[in-house]
Structure 1
Amino acid sequence: MASSFLRAAISNNAFWCDAVCKALGSPGEFTSTIWFHRRGTPPFYPDVVTLMEADGEQTEAIATLVNSEGRVWAIKDSYAALDLEPLGFRLLFEAEWIGMRTPVSVPSPISWQRMESAADLARWEMEWRKANGPVAQRIFSEPLLHDPEIAFLLAFEHGKPIGGGILNRAAGVVGLSNLFAEGRHGETIRRGLIAQAAELYPREPLAGYEHGDDLDEALRAGFELLGPLRVWLKEA
């Protein structure tokens, strides 16, 4: 049975996906078992996030959505429990939910700035794009800055941006996402974001998901494994 920490991490992620879409003027919808978006989400964001362990209702709801519109669909299978191949999906990647129950603020060798204006956010996204490649459209819009539970953070070394990330508080945890770092600064940025979370949202657990080398890095920084997830993709 899934832990309450895992459920909170999954709910937080769904709320974050919805916040990004809502800020662009097109929020998604929640049911008791899934979050979904009928018209398509920004790049890197799923169209469906499962909120509960797999059951027939979830698969049926996904099938109905996919059949309603012939476009690309991405599904975040939050419990790594669905078989979506019969619906025409392929497995895009597997990852692990991670959590940290008591983030601690420690001195950082770099400085941090919270984005507060539209110009700040444009700069943050420009730096983020350098790490993620060209994207055809803006993903993060100014209304996100007006939510005190969301923080866009940029790190500087000698006055030069070297990385950053996003924190969002929802469902009783703080989600850490969209971490990016220049070159050798990966662990420094991750540990710095942990410290920022401890300062901005004291005594709140931290959660997210990672895979590959980023997962190894997160575990070294003190995160624990909460459970597996999968992301599925269906081409148009």
Structure 2
Amino acid sequence: MITDDDVLGDAVRNNAEWCQVMCRAHGLTGTFGPRAWTSAARTPLYYPDAVALTADADVEDFLGTIDRTTPGASVKDSFARFDLAEAGFTMLFEASWIARPAGLPAPAAPGDWRPVRTPAELAAWALAWSGDDEDDAALFRPELLADPATTIVAGYGADGRILGGAVLSASARVTGVSNLFATGDTDPSFVWAGALASAPADRPVVGYESGDDLAPARAAGFEPIAPLRVWLDG
């Protein structure tokens, strides 16, 4: 039986593994230590340079191993334990890890939901995710399509327009959901339904959300399980 503590640890590890996949798509290699994942080179936009993996992680597990030569390095304080202000960081945001138990039926998902398979489909997905910001859209490289643990899903309307999408990341015992977005007037609950319809039903689904984004996640069967913080250097 998987306990809440197990699910939290699995959610943290799953998220760090997704960070590793994103870094690898950009030609970078992070390192999994016993208590933290770190990248010696600066990570892609919006992705942390270090992730605390365990509740007993300490600042020494990552501050000396990330690149702080220029402002902008970030740390995912997965268990909301650190005060990095004295080290020159400011808290960027707080959020909640969320989990949805295995075995719950997926809500109905309006639209045609399917995996993104080709570089052209990924480019269209990334532009929709970024709100047509080409620089942000460049984050999602075709190399992601070859990763066996990563499934990028998109929902399409009858006219072919992308209604929303998400990234699903498979790990040992859970499926992570991230980068979830809705376009135009699409109800975010439709996107959660589409993502869940694409996820295996026999394992928990995990991720993190904050603020107003928590409500549609809860409506889809997720519950907050623990807080996290992200800190920004400089």
TM-score between both structures, scaled by the size of structure 2: 0.91
Q: Where do residues 72-87 of structure 1 align in structure 2 (5 Å cutoff)?
A: 72-87=72-87
Letter in 2 for 1:9: A
Q: Where do residues 23-42 of structure 1 align in structure 2 (5 Å cutoff)?
A: 23-42=25-44
The match for 1:226 is 225
The match for 2:123 is 122
Letter in 2 for 1:69: T
Q: Distance in 2 between matches of 1:38 and 1:66?
A: 5
Letter in 2 for 1:218: A
The match for 1:97 is 97
Once the two structures are superposed, residues 108-140 of structure 1 have per-residue CA deviations (whole angstroms, 9 ceiling, x without a partner) of 221112111111111111111117x56357212
Are 2:114 and 1:113 aligned? yes
**Unpaired segments of 5 or more residues in structure 2?**
none
Q: 1:148 to 1:105 in 2, by over 3 A?
A: farther
> Which structure shows the bigger proportion of residues in helix conformation?
1
| Percent identity between the two aligned chains | 35
Q: Where do residues 141-156 of structure 1 align in structure 2 (5 Å cutoff)?
A: 141-156=141-156
Once the two structures are superposed, residues 5-62 of structure 1 have per-residue CA deviations (whole angstroms, 9 ceiling, x without a partner) of 000000000000000101221121110010011111111111110001144xx21233
Q: 1:208 to 1:135 in 2, by over 3 A?
A: same
The match for 1:140 is 140
The match for 1:43 is 45
**Unpaired segments of 5 or more residues in structure 1?**
none
CA-CA distance at 1:171 after TM superposition: 3.3
Question: Aligned to 1:104, what secondary structure does the other structure show?
Answer: coil
Q: Which consecutive segments of 4 or more residues in structure 1 shift more than 6 A?
A: none
Letter in 2 for 1:51: L
Cα RMSD of the aligned pairs, angstroms, is 2.0
Letter in 2 for 1:11: R
CA-CA distance at 1:149 after TM superposition: 2.2
The match for 1:60 is 60
Question: Aligned to 1:152, what secondary structure does the other structure show?
Answer: strand
Q: Distance in 2 between matches of 1:61 and 1:32?
A: 9
Q: 1:136 to 1:179 in 2, by over 3 A?
A: closer
Letter in 2 for 1:149: A
Q: 1:149 to 1:202 in 2, by over 3 A?
A: farther
Assess if the C-alpha contact under 8 Å between 2:49 and 2:66 holds in 1. no
The match for 1:10 is 12
